[in-house]
Amino acid sequence: MSDIVSGHKWSYGTLDDHGRLDKGKIDNNGPLIIYDTENIGRGIQILDHDSSKEIHLALVLPATEGDVRMLYDVAKRIAELWKSKQISVDGDKEDVSNLDHCIDFDIKTHKSVLRNARQIFNGSEYLNLACATLPVCISIEQLENFADDYNEFGHYLHEKQMISAYKSAPLFAQLDDVICSIYVFFDNGEIILPKEPEMKFTQDGEIYTCEESYIFIHDLFEGEKMSKMRFRDFVGRVPSEKKTEFDYRHILINPLTSEELQAIFKE
């Protein structure tokens, strides 16, 4: 991977089970993603990255124009390293010196997906987009609007992923005989939380419904290893000036000091 990204503003990593990037990590347990640090979109998935014979590159729909162009730049970079003058695009051999028609076709395809999002995604209200560094949730209406301003789609995803925030994902556990969802929080850092906590999960083919949802914070009070508060109570007590919308289904909470968090828990 270091040979591929060398000389470019590219980076890579592996996505965890919640779609969050572990930068610089190569792990067969999750998708390996390469992306442009100056234009972060949905990223390029690299398959068979440990093969000496072929590497497959994948781009999910709908992707940004930057993603499309990077897909072919990465392909050309690999071809250069392997001293090849051709790549395979959907089964067809293409010269690396003549890929403009492939790029143009892909861009039109991705724009079409945006324009027809409501029909393609079966009338869904929103879509969770797996992106290069973390998932971004966008309403179907907003997706369709991006078809008329394709560049803005790329700007939107880049701006969301440029935020150095931790996206807290639910943990599910049984506390005092009650099944709960738990979101970990910490001080002095930007945190992304859902507007409403996840209350259902699947385990061994069975669907479970939580009765409660909590925020957990380590070592908030002296002598107390773990502090907890009901999720909705916590979010409601966070000062309004510390909360902004992150995306369609999530909020961004600006850094809170340990003293501010202690005051919230003592209310």
Listed by start position, the domains of the chain span 1-162, 166-266
SS3 of residue 223 by DSSP: coil
d(CA 114, CA 233): 37
Predicted local distance difference test score (pLDDT) of residue 49: 59
| Exposure string over 10-47, b if 16+ CB within 10 A, otherwise e | bbbbbbbeebbbeeeeeeeebbbbbbbbebbbbbbbbe
Give the per-residue pLDDT at 123. Answer: 78
Q: How many CB atoms lie within 10 A of CB 233?
A: 13
pLDDT for 51: 60
Q: Which pair of structure tokens corresponds to residue 263?
A: 């005051």
Instruction: Note the pLDDT of residue 112.
Output: 97
**Please, which residues bridge with residue 226 across strands?**
218
Q: What per-residue confidence (pLDDT) applies to 50?
A: 62
161: CB partners within 8 A, 6+ apart: 40, 131, 132, 133, 134, 136
How far is C-alpha 249 from the chain's CA centre? 13
Q: What is the pLDDT of residue 106?
A: 97
Q: What is the pLDDT along the chain (267 residues), one digit of tens a residue?
A: 889 998 899 999 999 999 999 999 998 778 999 999 999 999 999 987 566 678 899 999 999 999 999 999 999 999 999 999 999 998 899 999 999 999 999 999 999 999 999 999 987 999 999 999 999 999 999 999 999 999 999 999 999 999 989 999 999 999 989 999 999 999 999 999 999 999 999 999 999 999 999 999 999 999 899 999 999 999 999 999 999 999 999 999 999 999 999 999 997
Q: Are strands 191-194 and 171-175 parallel, antiparallel or unpaired?
A: unpaired
